[in-house]
Structure 1
């Protein structure tokens, strides 16, 4: 007799395991509760094969709310029937989201799932808190290096400390932009007919997909000493700063006619944007230490020794070693008086890319609990107000102000 399905014992209201969805700026992860990895990791865009024949991004500000809702509904329907092979109305949903997600996006997701796909309930869970679950800890300083921004939120005793969060618009998108700039300035193409020509005349070749491929395959984060020299050389107009010999150049065949020649300097300089100290925006190490400074005194040392890095940007070769070196250098110089600490420690699983989907795994664990129905928003609750309640709803309830009234808006 064959063994029962893994989700046959997880029935609460239905006999089906919950669906876990994490919609990121660049990629969306989907799968089932109690599973160790997502069933699929797909780009967060939808190809309109029936209409405009264009690739439409989710939550595009250039589209109207109805258009955004339509694109999101088509994207989710394709995800259910192509990747999950499931009927939406039969399974509860856990949506893993950042605490900084706009309320408009949450309402669009709820509208698409409740009104168009008829799911029974939805739980919106904070990604930074869920990222702690796979590591078995309730205390961590969660550093999410995302596509558009990096967000640092302390978690202590299972509670996200929202008064101590820090964010900066530095992420993998900034690395890709810097990589494109360096390639146009320093790279070249080996063409079949014209020989070696500068890359400046082929700007249209450097698509987002090609930049991501180059970044993943060839770029890395260099050490602290070389990184400081690269930053100094980039700001020096007299060429007086001498740098160490760069790593080897690489050749990337694009087609039968062109081969991209990538200098070694480009490979190690692209990621420096994450660690540059700028007056307009903080570097990633500054975000970490400033977030710790916002915490109470007795929590600073434990958090500094419980650093949890997640997000696709954290998988770059040499990232954690460089981040640790930058933090120790700042603790010994600029932050010496404000933060008298001498050590930092990271959570890490050896030989595992769990950082990419750590928050999703946390959602998978939470989605298998019996408490899920009591923490979720039912379809009937949504149809009454057509709004996803958040922390402002608690304030309105305690003050007696209606959520939709003009007084609350003021």
Structure 2
């Protein structure tokens, strides 16, 4: 056995091969092993393209062949650079959204079985396995990621699919709003610089994470009133924040930009929708006897939900919307409660998959390489024909 093989297989000489758990997000990917309390790594969902020499996002594709190759290249990074294991004959849990396109999940399964020769693959819905971290059967799970916010109520460990809500209000929308605010509110000479040389997406993301926060509802209403009516005075803005750009230049992040960046999540669109109305509309679509339990068991997951002040503002928005004509006669709720998961919000779903991967459930829910060779299809959790007590039904 050469040294390279020993490097990858060293941990398997001690015990049985641990199950690999992977959560491929639009912006970041979490990967590690079942039974552990945190992922081994959280890395951008991108790889170095050999043909162009530039970074390429995993989900940046035009054809299925391109997506297949993207998964192959990204899989090499996960297995051989960060996890340091050989994927052949290993079990894997893939944490995915229930709304994940079939093309992407089928292509990923083809790569895992045909190229990496895994022994079994278990794809689990992120909204449901997130509740494994809390040991509660009923909750309203809101995933605010990078591309979109997806909300699915879970009642007695069963996703209520007809009540799902999805909006393109997430990290990307916040960064676009922040970029516009900086270009209009920075000092005049800095505005010229930003328009001539736009900030990289990674820099805007860093400013968002380090310097921006979600303001209180009353301050947001005062700011909106001052914009509509100049005679109304705006509240005192928070302090400006100097931000270095390399070693020879810096810009000043205005306090108003820091405070207003996340307001895009709460502004009503043309359909009168926001992340707050998503919660109320989802509860309305659920049975009457479950509405109180859902309102008192709200779980926020996803990287954008880690924003400072988001839970407090969201609770204020929900209570404020309850007395509006749209909901006052439909919902008789008195309070909303938010769970504090035992992990950071950005990898709660991964932790749920790690918990499930350490139980016997993975045996019943997994698709083996032998079964996949006969029927090249991954069961969909929304398809009741596959959800049998005696395991996964195929064909």
After TM superposition, the score normalised by the length of structure 1 is 0.87
1:209 and 1:139 map into 2 onto residues whose CA distance is 37
- Contact 1:332/1:342 (8 A) holds in 2: no
1:289 and 1:105 map into 2 onto residues whose CA distance is 30
1:240 and 1:176 map into 2 onto residues whose CA distance is 30
Residue 60 in structure 1 maps to residue 60 in structure 2: yes
1:384 and 1:107 map into 2 onto residues whose CA distance is 15
Residue 185 in structure 1 maps to residue 184 in structure 2: yes
- Contact 2:283/2:294 (8 A) holds in 1: yes
Which residue of the partner structure matches residue 81 of structure 2? 82
Match of 2:191 among 196, 199, 202: 199
1:200 and 1:299 map into 2 onto residues whose CA distance is 54
- In structure 2, the residue corresponding to 1:298 is in which secondary structure? helix
Runs of 4+ aligned structure 1 residues displaced above 4 Å come to: 5-9, 391-397
Which residue of the partner structure matches residue 192 of structure 1? none
Taking structure 1 as reference, are residues 244 and 396 closer, same or farther at Cα in structure 2, changes over 3 Å only? closer
1:32-87 CA distance string (max 9 Å, x none)? 00000000001011112x321121111224x3211211111110111101110111
Match of 1:347 among 308, 328, 339: 339
Which residue of the partner structure matches residue 131 of structure 2? 132
2:24 and 2:112 map into 1 onto residues whose CA distance is 13
What is the number of residues matched between the two proteins?
Answer: 378
Match of 2:356 among 342, 360, 366: 366
Which residue of the partner structure matches residue 100 of structure 2? 101
1:149 deviates by 0.8
Which residue of the partner structure matches residue 336 of structure 1? 328
1:271 and 1:76 map into 2 onto residues whose CA distance is 34
Taking structure 1 as reference, are residues 394 and 353 closer, same or farther at Cα in structure 2, changes over 3 Å only? closer
Residue 380 in structure 1 maps to residue 370 in structure 2: yes
- In structure 1, the residue corresponding to 2:189 is in which secondary structure? strand
Taking structure 1 as reference, are residues 396 and 296 closer, same or farther at Cα in structure 2, changes over 3 Å only? closer
Residue 273 in structure 1 maps to residue 264 in structure 2: yes
1:292 deviates by 0.3
Identify unmatched segments of 5+ residues in structure 2: 1-9, 388-393
- In structure 2, the residue corresponding to 1:93 is in which secondary structure? strand
Taking structure 1 as reference, are residues 386 and 338 closer, same or farther at Cα in structure 2, changes over 3 Å only? same
- Contact 1:176/1:212 (8 A) holds in 2: yes
1:213-240 CA distance string (max 9 Å, x none)? 0001100000001112333445x3x634
- Contact 1:122/1:376 (8 A) holds in 2: yes
- Contact 1:253/1:260 (8 A) holds in 2: yes
2:289 and 2:154 map into 1 onto residues whose CA distance is 14
Identify unmatched segments of 5+ residues in structure 1: 189-195, 398-402, 405-410
Taking structure 1 as reference, are residues 77 and 330 closer, same or farther at Cα in structure 2, changes over 3 Å only? same
Which residue of the partner structure matches residue 122 of structure 1? 121
Aligned-pair Cα RMSD in Å: 2.3
After TM superposition, the score normalised by the length of structure 2 is 0.90
Match of 1:214 among 204, 207, 232: 207
Which residue of the partner structure matches residue 248 of structure 1? 239
2:146 and 2:154 map into 1 onto residues whose CA distance is 22
1:391 deviates by 5.7
Which residue of the partner structure matches residue 312 of structure 1? 303
